[in-house]
Structure formats: C-alpha cells, structure tokens
Chain A
C-alpha cells in the first residue's frame, strides 16, 4: 500500500470535548496503527491471514479490555477511551478492531461482569496482555438473529458439565486459547461457560474463502461431549440477557470503530480528488465529486457526535441497549455508504490494494451483519418506540 498519509477529520472541533488523556490515548493508538498496521495490513488481508505479530502491540496500546480495572490487568479507562481506541484500530482494519472487540467486550467483559474472583484472576490478566486470545460463541448454524433458539447444551454430570453442540461464524476461533460459550442447561436456561483449548472433544475448524474481514480468522467451535470443569461456569448471570449485555458493550465499540473506517475512506477520497486530474482539473472541482465529499464529512460529523454523546451516557451508566443499537446501525451503514462512494471517487484505483477503500468496504459487509444485522437493529428501535415487537 502507498504511504499512510491519513489525517483525521474533525469538522466540529470535537477534540474540544475530549480530555487531554483521551487525546493522548487516541493519538498513541493512531501512531501505532500508522507505524505497525497500515504498512502490512493489505498484504495480510490479501493472504487471508491474521498478523499475529500485532497482538503485543494491541495489548500495549490498551486495546484488550481498556475499561477492565487495573487489578485484573486492564487499563481502568472510561468508555470514551475504549471507543477512541476502537476507532483508530478500525481506521487500520475492521479485522483488527474485531479481534480487539471480541477480546474486550465478548470475553473479558463477561468474565469480569459475570465471573467469580477466581475466574477473573485466572483469565483477565492473560487476556489483557495478549498471552491468551479469546473467542465468543453465541451464533449457531441455525440460530443467528435468533440466538435464544440455540441448541448447544450442557448436562450436569456430577463433578463436571458435559457440553455438546456447535457454534458458527466465531471470530478468532481457530487461534483462541479460551472461548466464552453460551449454552442451555437441562432446564433450557442460557449460561456462559469458559472452554479452554485442549479440552477433549473441543475443536475449532476454520471458515475459509471469506471476502470480508480477511485479516481476521473466523471459524466454528465444535463440542463433542466436552467435559467442562464446574468452576468454569460463569456464576453471576444467566439467561439471554447475559450474552446480550456483552453485545451491548461490543456494539458500542463498533459504533465508534466504523467511524475510523469511514474517516480513512473519506480522507483518502479527499486527497485523491485533489490530486487526480481529469479534463485538466482536479476531479475535486466537479460538483458531483464535491457532493460526495460534502455528504461524507457531514455524515462522519453526525456519527462522531452520536457516539460522543453515547459515550457520555455509557460513562454515566445510562446508555440503553436501544440507544446502542441505533448508533451501531446508523454508523455502520454510514461507513459502508462512504466506502462505496469513496471507491467511486478513486475510479479504477479504488479497486486495488494500493488504497484501503475496497478492503474497508468488504470488511464493513461483515460489520453490518454481525452483532445484530442492520435490519434487526431497526426492529429494536421500532419496538422501542412503538412498544410492539415485530420480530416474530
């Protein structure tokens, strides 16, 4: 890829709403992405490989569990810091941000929130340092948007639980050391279990041939009579609300993250349009190109304001699931549209790996589907404002 000349747009001077420490955290993540991620990420995406050498850097910039308290190896930061780190990572690549989202919100968060002290001490420091990679198993082959129908289940076998079933579309499954798996007990109630690599009957086949999130590994979690020690059950919350609580946290991070992808596309399109000459003029001088750019920066600015406000609410413990849904849905859609328009501005160059556009665009096709599809989030808002569920 050409040299990374990224400059973040801040049209409404939103930096003034951030603390000095927020800016230091963001700028450090931004510098790291420029130095270690953008020079190599295109190659890894092309090869469909996760750049494992970046795991340590991710841990160093605080991408793994930034809001987890320091006594468990986290950074004890607020939610806006978390959002800003996600934004910078996704500016690099949604695959990296996905890895950090899963580790932070879908693995560390449930262990911290729903786990006991022994579980926290055993897993959180290793997950924060990147020594352990985690994955999160909710989706099943026949239960995506409707996870409550899951069939993965466990039986009480006296001194252990016996886990059976399969999860699909699991980020980091092929490389995970631990998986937080959601399964039903004999009474049909959903619980979280920590499954470790090496447990007999536990396998993680990889899903190949993705055209999206190619720098992130995806696969299945298959449980064939896996004996899970009883101390690996997350004791402090059960029911569908438990995994949904994790999703709230991850979706919040995604709402910020995709702004990064959108900024990168906009920034690249803006520069390209000023440098590319057609009909003896920079293409930025044509109204149709300006319309695209003007709409992009407008949408980015709106999304930035939305997430900043959501971050304040989240810091105060007041952000609702429905508010998070709205931000996830709006921002992913915004980023995807910007990626498509930015690709047009780059003309033929837009389809090459010379520019990050097509990679972001393809990545965002996963982001608009995972963690609740675009339409499912619409139904959440619809249900919230009408009081009527349109899910079934």
Chain B
C-alpha cells in the first residue's frame, strides 16, 4: 500500500509567541520548530508500523519553503522512505490541502494520514479538505487504525465511548493520541536519512479562500496569591472584596 503522511512544522511548545506586520504575521525570529506532534508521533509512526507489518511505502509530504527541509529530514530519520516538499508558502489550509490532494491523486496514494490538528493554529481542516478534493471518505480523530488487506478498522473516541468503523481504501484519516507511540530517531535512521530522496515539486495553482487580518495574544495570566491553609478568613475576604465573586 502506498501511504502518504502530511507533516507540518510548528513552533516548539516552549517558544515565545509574538507577531509582526501589524499583528498579521507570526514572528519566527528565534523560534525553534518541530514536526507537529500529531503528525509525527501518531500519523507517521502508525504509517511506518503498517508498512513494517504489510509492506508498501511511506512518503511524507509538506507544503512549504526550503527552511522546512530540516523538519522533513527528521521524518526521514524516523523511517519514511521518501519525502516531497511542495515549494509554496501556503496562505491558508485550503491552499495547502489543494497541493497535497493534487500530489496524492497524481501519484496514486491509497491512504493519506495527517494529524488531527496542528498545535499552532489548531485548524483541524486539512484532512477533511484533502478528502473532499479527492472525493474520498474522511475519518477524523482516529485513535486506532488497523489494516487487513484493503479494509481498515478504525476506532474513534466519542462521547462516553468508542466508535469502531470499517472502510476500504482509498481514504483520508486524521490521527489522534493513542494511534501509535512516538519514536525517537536512532543513529541508523539519521544516517539513512542522508541519502533518502527529498523531492521538491513546484505547486499547482495557489489560491487562498481566507485572509488573516490580525492575531491577538491571550490576556496575560493574573498573578497567583497563596493563602495559608489556616487563614480561611483571608480567603473569604479576598473573594468578597477583591475578586468580588461572593
């Protein structure tokens, strides 16, 4: 089976978030980037496990510019067979989804995996958009994905329980926590990644459906006041007179 895994680059969770250009662009200065954890830990690793069990190939795809290459190399070091970067700084999710869908259909991928969301914009749109363009089924937030020939069994967490689905390839699935266990690249993988192909393809027509006007930071967290356990009167006083919620 030919598997395509979408990977995106996100700021490390400890990065300081700031904006430029009148709060309309994310300031990447001094920010460390990582592969989006849902893409890396779950989608990619599960794809590799399926390949290890059943054969086939795993390609990772990223829509972005050359500064994404180190992130893509890491995916190769973890075990993907090859990588594709569509040379475009996508303007929104639709822009990126169109590129990935075009590449997937032109190259006959039978299963497309992505993370359930990125940890920066939390859009959760890619999988659905790719599936729609490809006219395929989309399963979101999968916690388990097993293949038996061309048939997949998928589990999703739903309110109060688990939903179990069955469907045939081709389809698109977004991976949630639980689908696999993160792998740390080992030295063999890092060495092998040196010679694995990272193909750069030029984008098909780019367009954006949305435009970002501004970003805002959340309001700063208020400071925390510690009150000694044997002073409940002070607590009541503060709740009444300072927080004014009693």
Is A28's CB within 8 Å of the partner chain B?
Answer: yes
> What secondary structure prevails in chain A residues at the interface with B?
helix
For the complex, what is the distance from the CA of A23 to the CA of B73, rounded to whole Å? 11
Contact B184 A28 (CB under 8 A): yes
Is A76's CB within 8 Å of the partner chain B?
Answer: yes
Is B190's CB within 8 Å of the partner chain A?
Answer: yes
Contact A61 B191 (CB under 8 A): no
| Residues in B neighbouring A13, C-beta threshold 8 A | 30
> What secondary structure prevails in chain B residues at the interface with A?
helix
Contact A24 B191 (CB under 8 A): no
Q: How many residues of A contact B (CB 8 A)?
A: 19
| Residues in A neighbouring B193, C-beta threshold 8 A | 24
Mark out the residues of chain A between 117 and 170 whose CB falls within 8 Å of any chain B CB in the assembled complex: none
| Residues in B neighbouring A76, C-beta threshold 8 A | 191
Is B145's CB within 8 Å of the partner chain A?
Answer: no
| Residues in B neighbouring A202, C-beta threshold 8 A | none
Q: Write out, one digit per residue, whether chain A residues 73-106 have a CB within 8 A of any chain B CB (1) or not (0).
A: 0011000000000000000000000000000000
| Residues in A neighbouring B190, C-beta threshold 8 A | 21, 24-25, 28, 62, 75
Contact B184 A24 (CB under 8 A): no
Contact B191 A75 (CB under 8 A): yes
Contact B73 A28 (CB under 8 A): no
Contact B187 A7 (CB under 8 A): no
Contact A24 B73 (CB under 8 A): yes
For the complex, what is the distance from the CA of A21 to the CA of B14, rounded to whole Å? 22
CB < 8 Å neighbour of B187 from A31, A66, A277: A66
| Residues in B neighbouring A75, C-beta threshold 8 A | 187, 190-191
Is B123's CB within 8 Å of the partner chain A?
Answer: no
Is A60's CB within 8 Å of the partner chain B?
Answer: yes
Q: Write out, one digit per residue, whether chain B residues 160-193 have a CB within 8 A of any chain A CB (1) or not (0).
A: 0000000000000000000000001111101101
- Closest A residue to B226 by CB, please name it: A277
* Residues A60 and B77 in contact in the complex (CB < 8 Å), given A20-B69, A20-B70, A24-B70: no
Contact A60 B187 (CB under 8 A): yes
For the complex, what is the distance from the CA of A25 to the CA of B77, rounded to whole Å? 10
CB < 8 Å neighbour of B184 from A32, A70, A277: A32
Is A35's CB within 8 Å of the partner chain B?
Answer: yes
Is B25's CB within 8 Å of the partner chain A?
Answer: no
A162, chain B: closest CB distance, angstroms = 40
Contact B73 A20 (CB under 8 A): yes
Mark out the residues of chain B between 75 and 107 whose CB falls within 8 Å of any chain A CB in the assembled complex: 77
For the complex, what is the distance from the CA of A67 to the CA of B69, rounded to whole Å? 25
Contact A24 B185 (CB under 8 A): yes
A58, chain B: closest CB distance, angstroms = 10
* Residues A35 and B70 in contact in the complex (CB < 8 Å), given A21-B190, A24-B190: no
| Residues in A neighbouring B188, C-beta threshold 8 A | 60
B75, chain A: closest CB distance, angstroms = 11
- Closest A residue to B186 by CB, please name it: A60
* Residues A24 and B77 in contact in the complex (CB < 8 Å), given A7-B14, A70-B191, A75-B191: yes
| Residues in B neighbouring A20, C-beta threshold 8 A | 69-70, 73
Contact A23 B70 (CB under 8 A): yes
| Residues in B neighbouring A61, C-beta threshold 8 A | 184, 186-187
For the complex, what is the distance from the CA of A69 to the CA of B97, rounded to whole Å? 43
Contact B74 A24 (CB under 8 A): yes
A/B interface sample: 24 pairs, CB < 8 A = A7-B14, A20-B69, A23-B70, A24-B70, A24-B185, A24-B193, A25-B190, A28-B184, A28-B186, A28-B187, A28-B190, A31-B184, A32-B184, A35-B184, A60-B188, A61-B184, A61-B186, A62-B187, A66-B187, A70-B191, A75-B187, A75-B190, A75-B191, A76-B191
Q: Top 10 A-B pairs ranked by shortest CB distance?
A: A62-B187, A20-B70, A60-B186, A28-B185, A31-B184, A75-B187, A32-B184, A28-B184, A24-B190, A7-B14
Beyond contacts A31-B184, A66-B187: 19 other A-B pairs, Cβ-Cβ < 8 A, are A7-B14, A20-B70, A21-B73, A21-B190, A21-B194, A23-B70, A24-B70, A24-B185, A24-B190, A25-B187, A25-B190, A28-B184, A28-B185, A28-B190, A60-B186, A60-B188, A61-B184, A76-B191, A277-B226
